[in-house]
Amino acid sequence: MKIFNTLSRRKEEFVPLEDGKVRMYVCGPTVYNLIHIGNARPMIVFDTVRRYMEYKGYEVNYVSNFTDVDDKIIKKAIEEGVSAQEISERYIDECKKDMEGMNILPATTHPKATEEIQGMIDMIQTLIDKGYAYAAEDGTVYFRVKNFKEYGKLSHKNLDDLQSGFRALKVSGEEQKEDELDFVLWKPKKEGEPYWESPWCEGRPGWHIECSVMSKKYLGEQIDIHAGGEDLIFPHHENEIAQSECCNGKIFAKYWMHNAFLNIDNKKMSKSLGNFRTVREISQQYDLQVLRFFMLSAHYRSPLNFSADLMEASKNALERIRECAGRLQDKKQANQEPLSQEEKELLEKAGAYVTKFEEAMDDDFNTADAIAAVFELVKFSNTNVKEDSSGAFADGLLEILKKLCDVLGIITEKKEEMLDKEIEDLIEERQEARKAKNFARADEIRDELLKKGILLKDTREGVKWQRV
């Protein structure tokens, strides 16, 4: 299996640190809002990497954090007049719902920054003790970049270029830094912000330190794969390397993987341009499996453009796979006939598509080519399963199709359509739960319905529902 390593800018053979095991860390979202479809790209891509590793027989320890203390969270909390914790907990819950809709496996561990503060203080102290960090007069702690000779190795920037870039960019409030390149590990609290006690001042951690600490705690000092979107290469991942390698005296991650960005209508997707779409909005128009399929239809290192046309194409493609699976399922149940000699040979032939699929995935997770192999299998099935085919033949092909789709996280069964009566009964139960102030049950019913593709809208005329 080959992985493109941002560190070497080459595809390298994957050799795990420990036989049969993979330790993997993926930087997760900052939780101050519903996640957008850009955030969904690394989630889907690296979930697929994980699934493929598991398919190959590796035991995968997969850690992905939630950044739950940050300026944007605090700003939102102030706007709403609630605590930062209330904001982050709300959006962690919402994020988990979206993840489930996209069929993203829960991580082995989903640590939260605010629950790992002591570990961060300990690592910062070690860095100070080793001469890699210093506390300024106001209690801000900075990382001393010049003391880490390999700084810049991931982003392939050299220190001199970085230095001249920074000189032009004076940041106020950072006059106490020894050097422009130094970055914050710990900062003093501001009025109204959450804070923690520390040896330097009451305050909170800088952003980068959390990942170094959580990765070490849940995966060990050295890990196989560290991943995230390409915007994280610099400075976030570069700083993580500096912190971890200076603290532990060991190479931090062996392979660094980065997904390219998701654009929208060929423009950068951003809040300021207003062309920003949440996963939740998409879920009201499409089964989120369509979004997943769309994301995997391109190689993860190629920029991908989100458009209505491409989503429609993905919807149709997914439908073709599901129709084929449905036909195979019907055929499988239609008779108990064993395989004929000819069918046995055909099944062996179908094995070629599995090989093709694996070759594509082994080549730096080329999901676009892997999907092409799935479609060849679909075509093969449609051509070779006939009126008089045996149930065993259909079953054999269905198993292969499901196995491959499962690696991609694609569900081959059509969503079970709920009957109108069942929906209305649940809505009735929800209304009663609300009357009884049992909001937990009411929310549970709403979520249960959403999972089955039924969206509720509370209107002045009562509850309305639609299939999405």
Residue ranges for the known binding site for ATP are 271
Instruction: Return the exposure string of 22-48: e unless at least 16 CB atoms fall within 10 Å of the residue's CB, then b.
Output: bbbbbbbbbbbbbbbbbbbbbbbbbbb
- Identify the CA nearest to 118 among candidates 223, 205, 180: 205
Considering CB under 5 A, how many residues would be counted as binding Zn ion? 2
Q: Which is nearer to ligand AMP, 27 or 325 (CB)?
A: 27
Q: Which of 3, 24, 269, 373 binds ligand AMP (CB under 6 A)?
A: 269
Q: Is 62 helix (H, G, I), strand (E, B) or coil?
A: strand
319-348 positions binding ligand AMP, by CB under 6 A: none
| Residue placing its CB nearer to Zn ion in the complex, 101 or 229 | 229
CB 225, CB 24: distance < 8 Å: yes
If one asks whether residue 43 binds Zn ion (CB under 5 A), the answer comes out as no
Shortest distance in whole angstroms from residue 148 CB to Zn ion: 18
Residue whose CB is less far from Zn ion, 216 or 430:
216
- The residue from 23, 42, 233, 374 that contacts ligand AMP (CB under 6 A) is 42
Residues 2-41: x where in contact with Zn ion by CB under 5 A, - otherwise, as a string: -------------------------x--------------
Residue 80 interacting partner from Zn ion, ligand AMP, none (CB closer than 5 to 8 Å by kind) = none
Least Cα distance to 374 among 300, 331, 318 occurs for: 318
409, with CB counted inside 10 A (0-12, 13-18, 19+), is: buried
Question: In whole angstroms, how close is the CB of 27 to Zn ion at the nearest point?
Answer: 3
Using CB under 6 A as the binding rule, whether residue 262 contacts ligand AMP is answered as: yes
With CB under 6 A, what is the number of residues at the site for ligand AMP?
15
Distance CA 212, CA 219 (A): 10
Is residue 88 involved in binding ligand AMP (CB under 6 A)? Answer: no
CA gap 383, 388 in Å, rounded: 13
Residues making up the binding site for Zn(2+): 27, 211, 236, 240
Part of the chain binding ligand AMP (CB under 6 A), chosen from 179-187, 256-264, 309-317, 438-446: 256-264
User: Per 3-state DSSP, what percentage of the chain is helix, strand, and coil (rounded to 5)?
Assistant: 50, 15, 35
How many angstroms separate the most distant Cα atoms in the chain?
A: 84
235 is an interface residue for ligand AMP by CB under 6 A:
no
CA atoms of 236 and 246, how far apart (whole Å): 16
Shorter beta-carbon distance to ligand AMP: residue 39 or 140: 39
Neighbours of 120 (CB within 10 A): 23
DSSP state letter for 139 = S
Give the integer Cα–Cα distance in Å for 99 and 40: 8
Residue nearest to ligand AMP (CB): 229
Nearer residue to ligand AMP within complex by CB, 259 or 381:
259
Q: Does 123 bind Zn ion (CB under 5 A)?
A: no
- Alpha carbons 241 and 212: distance in angstroms, whole number: 8
Q: Which stretch binds ligand AMP (CB under 6 A): 39-47, 152-160, 328-336, 338-346?
A: 39-47
d(CA 128, CA 251) in angstroms, rounded, equals 19
Told to check if 6 binds ligand AMP by CB under 6 A, we report no
Query: What does 269 interact with, of ligand AMP, Zn ion, none (CB < 5 to 8 A by kind)?
Result: ligand AMP
- Window contacting ligand AMP (CB under 6 A); options: 38-46, 155-163, 181-189, 445-453: 38-46
Given ligand AMP, Zn ion, none, residue 211, with its beta carbon under 5 to 8 Å by kind, binds: Zn ion
State whether residue 256 is helix, strand or coil.
Answer: strand
The C-alpha atoms of residue 152 and residue 23 are separated, in whole angstroms, by 24
Distance in Å, CB of 36 to ligand AMP, minimum: 7
Q: How far is the CB of 390 from ligand AMP (least distance, A)?
A: 46
Q: Does 211 bind Zn ion (CB under 5 A)?
A: yes
The answer to whether residue 95 forms part of the interface with ligand AMP (CB under 6 A) is no
Q: Residue 270 and residue 361: Cα distance in Å, rounded?
A: 31
Among 3, 4, 22, 41, the residue binding ligand AMP under the rule CB under 6 A is: 41
Q: Does 211 sit near ligand AMP (CB under 6 A)?
A: no
> Which neighbouring-strand residues pair with 23?
61
User: What is the secondary structure of 306-328 as a DSSP string?
Assistant: E-HHHHHHHHHHHHHHHHHHHHH
Closer of 269 and 282 to ligand AMP (Cβ): 269
- We find the least distance from the C-beta atom of residue 123 to Zn ion, in angstroms, to be 14
Contacts of 191 (CB under 8 A, 6+ apart): none
Q: How would DSSP label each residue in 412-433?
A: -SPPPPPPHHHHHHHHHHHHHH
For Zn ion, the closer CB: 211 or 328:
211
Site for Zn ion contains 325 (CB under 5 A): no
Residue 99 near ligand AMP by CB under 6 A: no
> Nearer Cβ to Zn ion, position 154 or 374?
154
Q: Which of 226, 213, 229 is nearest to 114 (CA)?
A: 213
> What residues line the site for ligand AMP (CB under 6 A)?
27, 29-30, 38-39, 41-42, 228-229, 231-232, 259, 261-262, 269
> What residues line the site for Zn ion (CB under 5 A)?
27, 211
